[in-house]
C-alpha cells in the first residue's frame, strides 16, 4: 500500500508539473501557493485520524474517482479551445482511474468486482 501511495504522489507531482508547464506555454501563470490551492480545491479533504489499510485505500480511491470527474469536466471545457491540453487532461484521467481501480482491487474480496 505504501508503495502504491508513493506512485500516486509521483503521478500528482508529474501531472502538476506538466500542467504548470503547459499553462506557461500558453501564457498563463499557475498560482500554486498552498493557500490558493486549498481555497480553490473542490476535492474532499482527507479524513482525520488513523485508518485501516482498507479504509485508507477506499478513501484515496474515492478521491481519485472525484479527481477523474473534475478532470473530465476540465477536458470538456478545454477540448475545443486547445487540443494538446485536452490530450494531457485525457491522459491524466486514464492514469488517475488506473490507480483508483488498482486500490479498489487491493481491498475487494477475492473473486468480486470492485466496482
pLDDT digits (tens, 9 = 90+) for 47-104: 899 999 899 999 999 999 999 999 999 999 999 999 999 999 999 999 999 999 999 9
Say which residue, 46 or 66, is predicted with more confidence. Answer: 66
pLDDT at 115: 59
Non-local CB neighbours of 80 within 8 Å, separated by 6+ positions: none
Q: Identify the band that residue 112 occupies on the pLDDT scale cut at 50, 70 and 90.
A: low
Residue 81 forms part of a structural domain: yes
CA distances from 43 to 3, 13, 38, 46, 63 (A): 23, 17, 9, 9, 7
Q: Based on the structure, what is the number of domains in the chain?
A: 1
Residue 102 forms part of a structural domain: yes
Residue 70 forms part of a structural domain: yes
Please give the Cα distance from 89 to 95 (Å, whole number).
10
Please give the Cα distance from 32 to 15 (Å, whole number).
13
Please give the Cα distance from 31 to 105 (Å, whole number).
35
Residue 30 forms part of a structural domain: no
Domain containing 76 equals 56-107
Around Cβ 91, how many Cβ atoms within 10 Å? Answer: 13
Amino acid at each position: 500500500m505504501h508503495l502504491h501511495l508513493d506512485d500516486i504522489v509521483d503521478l500528482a507531482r508529474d501531472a502538476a508539473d506538466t500542467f504548470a508547464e503547459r499553462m506557461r506555454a500558453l501564457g498563463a501563470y499557475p498560482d500554486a501557493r498552498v493557500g490558493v490551492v486549498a481555497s480553490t480545491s473542490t476535492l474532499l479533504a482527507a479524513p482525520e485520524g488513523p485508518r485501516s489499510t482498507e479504509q485508507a485505500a477506499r478513501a484515496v480511491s474515492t478521491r481519485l474517482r472525484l479527481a477523474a470527474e473534475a478532470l473530465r469536466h476540465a477536458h470538456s471545457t478545454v477540448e475545443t479551445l486547445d487540443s494538446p491540453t485536452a490530450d494531457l487532461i485525457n491522459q491524466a484521467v486514464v492514469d488517475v482511474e488506473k490507480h483508483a481501480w488498482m486500490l479498489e482491487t487491493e481491498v475487494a474480496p477475492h473473486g468480486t468486482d470492485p466496482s
